[in-house]
Amino acid sequence: MAPTKKGILERLDAGELVIGDGGFVFALEKRGYVKAGPWTPEAAAEHPEAVRQLHREFLRAGSNVMQTFTFYASDDKLENRGHTQRFTGQQINEAACDLAREVANEGDALVAGGVSQTPSYLSCKSADDVKAIFKKQIDVFVQKNVDFLIAEYFEHVEEAEWAVQVLKTSGKPVAATLCIGPEGDLNGISPGDCAVRLVKAGAKIVGVNCHFDPETCVKTVKLMKEGVEKAGLKAHYMSQPLAYHTPDCNRQGFIDLPEFPFSLEPRILTRWDMQKYAREAFNAGIRYIGGCCGFEPYHIRAVAEELAPERGLLPPGSEKHGTWGSGLDMHTKPWVRARARRDYWEKLKPASGRPFSPAMSAPDSWGVTKGHADLMQQKEATSQEWKTLQLSLKKSNAHL
Considering only residues 181 through 200, tell me which ones interact with a copy of itself, judged by CB under 8 A. none
Using the rule CB under 8 A, give the single segment among 8-16, 37-45, 136-144, 276-284 that binds a copy of itself: 37-45
Give the max Cα distance, the chain: 66
297 binds a copy of itself (CB under 8 A): yes
**Could you give the CA distance from residue 211 to residue 154 in angstroms, rounded to a whole number?**
10
Give the one residue of 8, 185, 301, 303 binding a copy of itself; rule: CB under 8 A.
301
**Could you give the CA distance from residue 166 to residue 340 in angstroms, rounded to a whole number?**
50
CB of 278 to a copy of itself, least distance (A): 16
CB of 260 to a copy of itself, least distance (A): 7
Where in 200-219 is the site for a copy of itself (CB under 8 A)?
213
Instruction: Enumerate residues 6+ apart whose C-beta is below 8 A from 313.
Output: none
Task: Name the residue nearer to a copy of itself (CB basis): 189 or 264.
Answer: 264
124 binds a copy of itself (CB under 8 A): no
CB of 373 to a copy of itself, least distance (A): 9
Using the rule CB under 8 A, give the single segment among 16-24, 145-153, 277-285, 382-390 that binds a copy of itself: 382-390
Of 188, 285, 281, 196, the residue nearest 240 (C-alpha): 281
Where in 308-367 is the site for a copy of itself (CB under 8 A)?
317, 319-322, 325-341, 343, 345, 347-362, 364, 366
**Could you give the CA distance from residue 375 to residue 327 in angstroms, rounded to a whole number?**
50
Q: Given the DSSP bridges, would you call strands 205-209 and 174-178 parallel, antiparallel or unpaired?
A: parallel
Task: Name the residue nearer to a copy of itself (CB basis): 222 or 321.
Answer: 321
Q: Which residues are annotated as a binding site for Zn(2+)?
A: 210, 292-293
CB of 75 to a copy of itself, least distance (A): 16
20 binds a copy of itself (CB under 8 A): no
Task: Name the residue nearer to a copy of itself (CB basis): 231 or 328.
Answer: 328
Report the half-sphere exposure of 125 (CA within 13 A, side-chain side): 19
Q: 6 to each of 110, 174, 363, how far by Cα in Å?
A: 9, 16, 43
Q: Where are the alpha helices (DSSP H) in 125-232?
A: 127-143, 157-167, 191-201, 214-230
Where in 144-173 is the site for a copy of itself (CB under 8 A)?
none
Facing residues of 110 across strands?
Answer: 65
CB of 270 to a copy of itself, least distance (A): 5
Task: Name the residue nearer to a copy of itself (CB basis): 79 or 226.
Answer: 79
CB of 164 closer than 8 Å to CB of 198 = yes
Where in 40-59 is the site for a copy of itself (CB under 8 A)?
49-50, 53, 56-57
Of 7, 2, 1, the residue nearest 288 (C-alpha): 7
**Could you give the CA distance from residue 272 to residue 248 in angstroms, rounded to a whole number?**
21
CB of 262 to a copy of itself, least distance (A): 6
85 binds a copy of itself (CB under 8 A): no
Where in 234-293 is the site for a copy of itself (CB under 8 A)?
244-248, 255-272
- Give the strand order in the sheet containing 65-67: 18-19, 288-289, 236-240, 205-209, 174-178, 148-154, 110-116, 65-67
**Could you give the CA distance from residue 76 to residue 8 in angstroms, rounded to a whole number?**
30
Q: Given the DSSP bridges, would you call strands 174-178 and 65-67 parallel, antiparallel or unpaired?
A: unpaired
CB of 70 to a copy of itself, least distance (A): 17
CB of 202 to a copy of itself, least distance (A): 27
Using the rule CB under 8 A, give the single segment among 25-33, 91-99, 124-132, 221-229 that binds a copy of itself: 25-33
80 binds a copy of itself (CB under 8 A): yes
Dihedral, CA of residue 364, residue 365, residue 368 and residue 373, to nearest 10: -70
Task: Count interface residues toward a copy of itself (CB under 8 A).
Answer: 107
Buried b (16+ CB within 10 A) or exposed e, 292-301: bbbbbbbbbb
Using the rule CB under 8 A, give the single segment among 89-97, 130-138, 189-197, 384-392 that binds a copy of itself: 384-392
Q: Which residues are annotated as a binding site?
A: 210, 292-293
Q: 21 to each of 92, 106, 135, 265, 290, how far by Cα in Å?
A: 20, 15, 24, 20, 5
Task: Name the residue nearer to a copy of itself (CB basis): 225 or 245.
Answer: 245
Interface pattern 103-122 for a copy of itself (x via CB under 8 A): ----------------x--x
